[in-house]
Chain A
Amino acid sequence: MEQKTSAPSGHANGSADPSAPAQSGVGTTGHSWDGIEELNNPLPRWWLWTFYACIVWAVGYWFVYPAIPLVSSYTKGFLGWQSRAQIEVDMAELKAMRSGMTTKIEATELADIEKNPELLSFARAQGSAAFAVNCAPCHGAGAQGFKGYPNLNDDDWIWGGKAEDILTTIKHGVRWEQDSNTRSGVMPSFGRDGILNRKEIATVADYVLSLSGLAVDKGADLAAGKTLYAANCAACHGDAGAGNQEMGAPNLSDKVWLYGSDKAAIMERITLGGGGVMPAWSNRLDAATMKSLAVYVHTLGGGK
């Protein structure tokens, strides 16, 4: 209020001559809202020229890159640049960059890769990267595994722990029906399909516990369990429970348990049967990557 009344040339009524300098020395735009007026300061030069430059740049873009849709096509631009052509170039560059090592990996036997320090170090690096993206979600970032997903650090192997075995498992998966060479071998559902009743399952579970020296319930009938085991389990898991890697039948006489070592967990597995599933990777990964993965997993600590 004070300012308005003291301002020169009657700004208060909003009909001031816009060209006349207000207190600031700058003219107004002539806009007036409830007596509040708008100074007509010019835009900063640096801003204005940057703005014009952007417009020119944008017009340049129209001519240089694909831009304007037409009736049956679109303007392709002077450079002829295409994102899908660019990715081909990028991937080819990447392949060329790696080919020095990957062709050697492809041409070398797994055992020889591990003997050659240069190849081993490359394979382990490539394997480690591929493992993090593709394998860690099931087997864990440290390959430590989870319930139902094997630990790859230990020396207990369901389908074989030689590098070649590991490579076969990676290529074709486990019980992966879309791959005709997949590792197969399914444990019957002894409980669900009524092959054994609940009491028999409990009895044989006690015997399985005893195979690896785990504590057994008091009064467990191990003799009856042994008979049931011999009739139902020994064909795959072996008389002493040593397992059979040809069929993916785990070793029952060691201390490594995929689904848990308590009686309830063992009874659940006997009841449901089946087995874990691993995808086949041969459609997703190239030969060198799969070999590197096999070397990486084999050299984690438990490789045979």
Chain B
Amino acid sequence: MSDTHTTSGGKTSVWTKHQVFEKNSIFLLIGILVMISIGGLVEIVPLFYLKSTIEKVEGVRPLTPLELAGRNIYVREGCYNCHSQMIRPLRDEVERYGHYSLAAESMYDHPFQWGSKRTGPDIARVGGKYSDDWHRDHLRNPRSVVPASIMPSYPWLETTALDTSHIDMDMRVLAIEGVPYTKEMIESAASDVKTQGAAEDSLTAPFLKRYPKAITRESGGVQGRLTEADALIAYLQQLGTQVDFKLYDDKANIR
């Protein structure tokens, strides 16, 4: 090997040409960028055009404005640092958490909240697993219901009024990214927040037409206003519940 690296005697080989990269940091940098881009292109781009990436499923709908506001709080508080939302197709995970996650279930998530670390449990299917009251108690002080928990307390969520002044703008941005929010959905965002959070019966029917099977609830809030905890709980309670796995055909989506 030693002779291929030498510069003596005017010998040129592939190895000597490589010296251009070794001796010029800017070429090395460009070379590295090119190589990494190829890796990225080959691994990521096909996911955009291969039709089999996202399963065809029924029931997956965009988040309601209240759930979306809750999702924003989920991201803001960094919940994804400790909780994944990705049940892998492995026996122990399916046994503990339920059906493995489908790509379709997070197709409207921008950015997705799959996470990569489980300090706490996976919460891809936490929706409907506990009561709203439990979430309230647990967010206020996790130790009050799970004595061994190391999760931080989030007591301010239930005392902070929910800011929904920009939720329609969030929806507009998501619509640009491909989430099927209609003009009607965006325009009625503010009232939909109230409808879902206060279970106002007169407005529930059109709301449920926009967001089928969404759960309306009397959230209480603070002095008649919805709180951040109300929004976060609305978000958590729909996680993993949109696809009915009694109807879903696993065999059709083996690929």
B89 touches A69 (CB 8 A): no
Closest beta carbon of chain B to A296's beta carbon, Å: 17
- Known pairs A29-B2, A146-B145; A91 contacts B255 (CB<8 A): no
- Give chain A residues whose Cβ lies under 8 Å from the Cβ of B147: 140-141
Residues of chain B lying within 8 A (CB to CB) of residue A148: 133, 137
Closest to B100 in A: A87
CB distance from B115 to the nearest CB of A (A): 19
Contact of A276 among B6, B50, B133 (CB under 8 A): B133
Nearest opposing residue in chain B for A88, CB measure: B250
A-B interface, 3 closest residue pairs, ranked by CB to CB distance from nearest: A69-B46, A277-B131, A87-B89
B50 CB contacts on chain A under 8 angstroms? 69, 72-74
A30 and B51 contacting across the interface, CB-CB below 8 Å = no
Interface magnitude class on chain B: 35 or more
Q: Is B116 an interface residue (CB 8 A)?
A: no
Q: Let me know if A149 is at the binding interface, CB within 8 A.
A: yes
When chains A and B are docked, how far (Å) is the Cα of A134 from the Cα of B98? 11
A146, B134: Cα distance in complex, Å: 11
Instruction: Write the A86-97 contact mask toward B (1 if CB under 8 angstroms, else 0).
Output: 111011001000
Residues of B near A149 (CB, < 8 A) are 134, 145
Cβ–Cβ contact B91 & A137, under 8 A: no
What A residues does B6 contact at CB under 8 A? 18-19, 29-30
**Interface readout for B39-57 with A: 1 if CB under 8 Å, 0 if not?**
0001001100011100000
B81 close to chain A: CB less than 8 A: no
Contacting residues, chain B, for A88 (C-beta < 8 A): 250-251, 254
Choose among A86, A138, A147, A177 the residue with the greatest number of B CB atoms under 10 Å from its CB.
A138
A-B contact pairs, 21 of them (CB 8 A): A18-B6, A19-B6, A40-B2, A69-B45, A69-B46, A72-B51, A73-B50, A73-B52, A85-B254, A87-B91, A87-B100, A88-B251, A90-B90, A136-B146, A137-B130, A137-B138, A138-B131, A147-B144, A149-B134, A283-B128, A284-B129
Question: B8 an interface residue at 8 Å Cβ cutoff?
Answer: yes
B-side contacts of A91, CB under 8 Å: 91, 94
- Report if A74-B254 is in contact (Cβ < 8 Å); known contacts: A30-B5, A40-B5, A138-B145: no
Q: Judge whether B7 is part of the interface by a CB distance below 8 angstroms.
A: yes
Q: Beyond A29-B5, A30-B8, A134-B129: 12 further Cβ-contacts under 8 Å? A: A27-B2, A29-B6, A40-B1, A69-B46, A84-B254, A88-B254, A137-B138, A141-B147, A148-B133, A148-B137, A149-B145, A279-B130
